[in-house]
Amino acid sequence: MLTNYSRRTFLETIGLSMGASILLPASTLPDRARADRKLNVALCGLGRYANVLKRGFAESRHCRLAGIVTGTPAKAAQWQQEFKLPAQNVYTYETFDQLRNNPDIDLIYITLPNGLHKDYTIRAAQAGKHVIVEKPMAFTVPDCRAMIDACRKAGVQLAVGYRLHYEPHHIELKRLGQQKVFGPVRLIEASLGYQLAGTPPDDWHLKKAIAGGGALMNLGVYCIQSARYVLGEEPISVTAQYSPVTMPQLFREVEENITWQLTFPSGAVNTSATTANCNIDRFYASADNGFFELSPALSYGPFQGRSSQGPFNFPVVNQQAALLDDVASHILAHKPLPAHIAGEEGLKDMRVIEGIYRAADSGNKITLPPL
């Protein structure tokens, strides 16, 4: 049974129990003046995930929701009232670029459909604002590079919303894998799928021009991430297969189901599946002298798992609040963001996603290009 400790209790205890190598959000800032300040964030796109982020902002110690960007007047009025936002901090997509003139906004968090990530990240950077962009970062590796370059040129920082790096079960998976607690990991199985049969046919996730792809872009990125950070390696080749479409009325433009197999320099293999026709949410790793697993594993949790040494018993934390606080702590301290959430991490996932699509389209084993 998982115990619902507070985030503060978790941050105070996990460092003692798991060692200094674990990456955690900074709990203090360099001086009291900076510690008392919060990073002011404007949320761009008020869809489904923006509503998940509401609780993250409520529990964040170092971030404040200070502005919004939306094309829907009713949403603007609702969010403005709920968060007591001044009128000058409420923007439409047409007035987005005017954010450059607002010193009360430090960072823009982009939760728009995938196809808009590149454009709004670059425009946010040109407005002089730091950026968090949701995953998948963009459609292609060159798009990711353009976003990274634009932020670097503007002197702002770019993060990708990799919330699971702050979740204690995943911190433990990373420790067990990278420190070879049970010896080298030989096989990882990671799968994520949701039943989307009732999805409206005009949902943007079903439109290639705005989504970029189907289940792989929407869910598969979590499977790719978990294999990469548990092994601490970058895959070198991939094979992949599309599965039969069961809902042709919905999946005319993007894939409904796809499976893939990654090989890594150590010889480890990752096999994954992602789907829109059933619910699956699991992770399993087999090493020379043991195993570790989670189920649920890659969604919002609460997660449950075990290893060869017994069941996990970690606290529940708000993943979004932990991500926000770590980004804010680094930016307020004028420090570069940690590599596991920086823009380059999103580029690495996109390199694999592109390879999976090429392998599935061609039926061939694809050697992934060097980074």
Catalytic residues: 135, 222
Q: Which two tokens stand for residue 133?
A: 């962009």
Residues in contact with 95: Cβ distance below 8 Å, sequence separation at least 6, in sequence order = none
Comparing CA positions, the residue from 118, 134, 126, 132 lying closest to residue 151 is 126
- Spatial separation of the C-alpha atoms in residues 220 and 229, rounded to whole Å: 15
Question: 């890659």: which residue's tokens?
Answer: 298
- Spatial separation of the C-alpha atoms in residues 200 and 203, rounded to whole Å: 5
CA distances from 235 to 218, 265, 353 (A): 20, 7, 11
Residues in contact with 171: Cβ distance below 8 Å, sequence separation at least 6, in sequence order = 14, 18, 22, 23, 24, 165
Question: 């709920």: which residue's tokens?
Answer: 82
| C-beta separation of 305 from 294 below 8 A | yes
The C-alpha angle 154, 109, 232, rounded to 5 degrees, equals 85
| C-beta separation of 130 from 158 below 8 A | yes
The C-alpha angle 288, 292, 293, rounded to 5 degrees, equals 140
338: Cα within 13 Å, side-chain hemisphere:
19
Judged by DSSP in three states, 212 sits in: coil
Comparing CA positions, the residue from 153, 160, 172 lying closest to residue 131 is 160
CA distances from 351 to 51, 138, 269, 357 (A): 30, 11, 17, 10
CA distances from 163 to 52, 176, 209, 323 (A): 12, 19, 26, 6
| C-beta separation of 217 from 141 below 8 A | no
